[in-house]
Structure 1
Amino acid sequence: MSITPSRNTVPVVDARHFRDALSQFATGVTIITTRLPDNSFLGLTASSFNSVSLNPPLVLWSLAQTANSMPVFTNNSHYVINILAADQAALAHQFARPSKNRFEGVDFKLSPTGLPIISGVAAWFECHNRSRYPEGDHVIFVGEVECCDVSPKEPLVFHGGRLLSE
């Protein structure tokens, strides 16, 4: 049974102060990849990644509801979560900026469902797009991991508003 407490007032939290507080939580950096309807590839940088369950194997990440890529990620059956290695800060920036082809100059192989797995990452997870939950200004994507791999590389870390390798 789930109990949701009632709320009479909405808390007032300064957005800048909230971001500053959140920046004190160190996170890994990922590039989420999938395929566009024209069979080209789409990828974006995200640090909102976490494990959900071991059985079944579930992970989550989130995307702003206003993101241009929202319809693609909502409608595609699969995506790959690439956990960047410490030496891949340039890729984090490349996939965070608007570009016609973020994959330009990027070495990758294809996953079992034909999606980009970026070479040299610390780990990757190919996920079935299991469920989505709109919350606030983002949508939380829950992926069921169908396959994954790991390397001995150290991960890229984001903390205090910057990549720690920079």
Structure 2
Amino acid sequence: MSNSANDLALTPAQPSVIDPIELRRCLGAFVTGVTVITALDDDGAPIGMTVNSFNSVSLDPPLIVWSVRTNATSFPVYSKAKRFVVNILSEEQVDVSNRFAKSGPDRFEGIPVTAGIDGLPLIDGCSAYLECSTEATYPGGDHLLFLGRVTRILGTSRKPLAFGAGKYMVVHPHAPNADLGSGNVATLNAVQLARPCLEELNRETDKTVGLGVWGNMGPTLIWWVEARQPLDVRLRCGMVLPLLGSATGKVFAAFSAPQLTARYLEAEIASVQHIVDAPFGNRIAVEEHLALVRERKLGFIDDAIMIDINELGVSAVSAPVFDASGSIVLALTMMGAASSFTQDDPAVARLSDAARRLSVRLGYRA
């Protein structure tokens, strides 16, 4: 047994009173799919309810299970239903989930459906459908469990919607040791892993965050997510950034192979020769600054203004992401107004940690 300091300390089991709020929080760590269970009432009118208590039971016979609170307004109808449909929602159907999670009439108003077996409603646009007959029901505390026998399966190519920790999520494949190929060009696998990481970082910090790669013309911003209060910055995907005039560029300049960056650095140094007191007017000044970037594993730029991009000063910090070979493949960047965002902002530590964890998932070992 591991004695790591990160392991839970094991003590003899003691009876305890379970706090429902703490139990809900703990169960929220288990990410589930999202479904809407549909059925028909005695008059043939459709009913529907958002449910994430759905799970598989058996392949032979084909059985599934879900549950509903006994005090739910639609409980009497579901408890007598002989048939029901498990509509597995797709990632585009957050609005459908929210609609059927609330009580009230006319849940189906404006929702396109297709008639399934015995006329039961199949909500259009779902990831998959399981049409079921009720095999048995079982009491389970304040819920009733429904054991369903699958009678027909309908699948689509749409990605499923997920839910965990009180938030909707999107599903991406896990590729911890993906082969990223040679050179410093980020591949699709790395980008697929980075995008949900970027979304999470945005939710945690409420900062504008971006994803940079080394493109054909140098550091290139390929994705970004705005904070709730957007910056007055005209960001766009595919925007090529300077090596020394952007946080993303500095990270690539510091960690990329010299033969990849040399001509871009020389061009930028030459472009400021006519400017008195330019910060990067010679190669020595550039190398001293890049050494600091390597030491901190952070590129930074304060109160920057870029022509045709922003009129008000913006500060940015960028962290490198490495693959299994130790090569930089991505840069995670965080931006904020110069008046309120500094390198000491607590969100910067979250950025560094996100880049480190993403590197580990890509097979990097320091």
- The two structures have a TM-score, normalised by structure 1, of 0.91
* Aligned partner of residue 52 in structure 1, secondary structure: strand
Matches within 5 A, 1:3-152: 11-152=16-157
2:178 counterpart residue number = none
Identity %: 39
Q: CA RMSD in A?
A: 1.5
Unaligned runs of 5+ in 2: 1-13, 171-202, 204-366
Unaligned runs of 5+ in 1: 1-8
Is structure 2 residue 172 aligned with structure 1 residue 163?
Answer: no
Q: Which amino acid aligns with 1:131?
A: A
Distance 1:139 1:25 in 2: 21
* Aligned partner of residue 127 in structure 1, secondary structure: strand
**Offset, 1:164:** 1.7
Distance 1:57 1:126 in 2: 11
Residues matched between the structures, number: 158
* Aligned partner of residue 130 in structure 1, secondary structure: strand
Deviations 1:129-163 (A, max 9, x none): 11111011111101000001111111110011111
Q: Which amino acid aligns with 1:100?
A: P
Distance 2:79 2:47 in 1: 13
* Aligned partner of residue 73 in structure 1, secondary structure: helix
* Aligned partner of residue 164 in structure 1, secondary structure: strand
Conservation of the 8 A alpha-carbon contact between 2:73 and 2:103:
no
Deviations 1:65-107 (A, max 9, x none): 1112111111111000100000000000000112211000001
Distance 2:16 2:108 in 1: 42
| Greater displacement, 25-34 / 35-44 | 35-44
Distance 1:108 1:121 in 2: 10
Change in Cα spacing, 1:10 to 1:74, as seen in structure 2 (3 Å) is: farther
Distance 2:101 2:143 in 1: 17
- The two structures have a TM-score, normalised by structure 2, of 0.42
- Rg comparison, structure with higher value: 2
Q: When you count helix as a share of all residues, which structure comes out higher?
A: 2
